[in-house]
Homo-oligomer: A and B are copies of this chain.
Amino acid sequence: MSATSPRRLHLNAFLMNAGHHDAAWRHPRTQPERVTDLRYFQELARTAERGRLDSIFFADGLALWGKVRHNALGGFEPLTLLSALASVTEHIGLIATVSTTFNEPFHTARKFASLDHISGGRAGWNIVTSGTVNEARNFGQDEHMEHGLRYERAREFVEVATRLWDSWEDDAIVLDREGGVYADTDKVREIGHRGEHFGVQGPLNVPRSPQGYPLLVQAGSSEDGKEFAAQYAEAVFTAQQTLADGQSFYKDLKSRLARYGRTEDDLRILPGICPVIGSTEHAARALEQELTDLQVPEYGLAQLSGMLGTDLTGLPLDGPLPELPAERDINGNKSRFTLVAELARRDGLTLRELIARLGGGRGHRVVAGTPEQIADQLEEWFTQGAADGFNIMAPHLPGGLEDFVDHVVPILQRRGLFRTEYTGRTLREHYGLPRPANRLAAQAAPVPQDH
């Protein structure tokens, strides 16, 4: 971004089967019968691209989430799905979640490099450490690795991945047919990594990709998560319920960047928002109520039990939350635990009320209103130091995304807050972030003899 161009917000469409509301699949405007239909996701991706959004994004878990009995869970794997969507889109960024706890850096670095080539520079990696013992049990482990250790592994994982992406210099392929030299092997390097968690010789078997590295995204908001984000992330998805919380998180995270030699402009912070859109405020609230009425209480209780690390089964829905453990005893998603526990305490919610409040965004902020009111909320957070953009979590799909693109985006564009055309070609360009220099090439560069 040049110093004189106006600050613009960034919008990511967080896609999820029938939508983010846990009862969306029961609503007549959704199409849960299409969750394994590629064309369904092609349509969603094209809708987001029509809205000139920066990116689409898929969360991921390595076990069947929650209770599939009562929600449209399961379906495509993100890297294969986004590769398929790359073929039928031109501009929009493609962000896949991949866990550092249950993968190998060689595979992960390679697949993202491949997706980045496939898409002409539109790949992003949401780096997660995975939060549940059910995932561990699909990978030969009875217990889930401890939170701090997971982040330690994640740091080493990202170090290895970035070295692999740097293992080919940008101009390593010389393609000298006459001389019989395809690649200048002085510019293709082993990385020789031997660390605590990984041993990786390299080089990668993929040439350096259009973006150098995929956009590095992170979504954990615990202390470990924030430190990790400050060191590596270029975009952060976060859940904040109030403007004050959003401002405090924003300030906190941005202030941590300097200790890693980074500036505040090196990282984009995108709080989640679940916009329940109606042509009038009344219509929006009616839609929200309609979705709440479709909730299956057993599902909500199971979800809540998971978030709070506490079995709530059988407790009276109209009673209060029981005594909860301390955050330090939670080994899953620590920041989500704290957010939900505080929400319940602050507003004195019963279990039923808490389930209703969490139904739309699983802890992310839900805003019901007209397109104008939604736009006002986004503008407020954006201009008041709480956001560089937003993670848009449509409560129901495809309609909720279409409503956002057709009715909210034009307002943001009229206010000069959002692009009217794509000006960049890569995801990094959409987010106004530079292409990383090749660190291995820089280290290996010969010292000039004359100066």
The answer to whether A38 touches B206, judged by C-beta atoms less than 8 angstroms apart, is: no
Q: How many residues of A contact B (CB 8 A)?
A: 76
The answer to whether B68 touches A188, judged by C-beta atoms less than 8 angstroms apart, is: yes
**A125 vs chain B, min Cβ distance (A):** 13
Copies in the complex: 2
Asked whether A71 is an interface residue with its Cβ less than 8 Å from the other chain, the reply is: yes
Asked whether A309 is an interface residue with its Cβ less than 8 Å from the other chain, the reply is: no
The answer to whether B61 touches A26, judged by C-beta atoms less than 8 angstroms apart, is: no
* Chain B residues with CB under 8 A of A198: 140
In the complex formed, the residue of B with least CB distance to A298 is B180
- Tell me which of B68, B140, B202 contacts A182 (CB under 8 A): B68
Asked whether A104 is an interface residue with its Cβ less than 8 Å from the other chain, the reply is: yes
Given known pairs A140-B200, A204-B64, the reply for A114 and B81 (CB within 8 Å) is yes
Binds B, one of A85-93, A146-154, A212-220, A344-352: A85-93
Which residues 396-439 of A sit at the B interface, judged by CB distance below 8 A?
none
Binds B, one of A72-80, A361-369, A384-392: A72-80
* Chain B residues with CB under 8 A of A38: 86-87, 117-118, 120
Binds B, one of A105-113, A243-251, A283-291: A105-113
* Chain B residues with CB under 8 A of A81: 83, 114, 118
- Tell me which of B28, B71, B84 contacts A83 (CB under 8 A): B84
- If over half of A's interface residues share one DSSP class (helix, strand or loop), that class is named, otherwise mixed; here it is loop
Asked whether A320 is an interface residue with its Cβ less than 8 Å from the other chain, the reply is: no
16 new A-B contacts, CB < 8 A, other than A79-B111, A81-B118, are A28-B177, A38-B120, A61-B205, A70-B180, A76-B206, A77-B111, A79-B79, A79-B83, A80-B118, A81-B114, A87-B87, A88-B88, A102-B107, A103-B107, A106-B138, A138-B201
Asked whether A258 is an interface residue with its Cβ less than 8 Å from the other chain, the reply is: no
Q: How far is the CA of A76 from the CA of B207 in the complex (A)?
A: 9
In the complex formed, the residue of B with least CB distance to A26 is B177
* Chain B residues with CB under 8 A of A138: 106, 200-202
- Tell me which of B70, B139, B182 contacts A32 (CB under 8 A): B182
Q: How far is the CA of A204 from the CA of B36 in the complex (A)?
A: 14
In the complex formed, the residue of B with least CB distance to A106 is B138
The answer to whether B87 touches A203, judged by C-beta atoms less than 8 angstroms apart, is: no
Which residues 27-75 of A sit at the B interface, judged by CB distance below 8 A?
28, 32-33, 36, 38, 42, 61-65, 67-75
Which residues 259-306 of A sit at the B interface, judged by CB distance below 8 A?
294, 296
* Chain B residues with CB under 8 A of A207: 36, 74-75
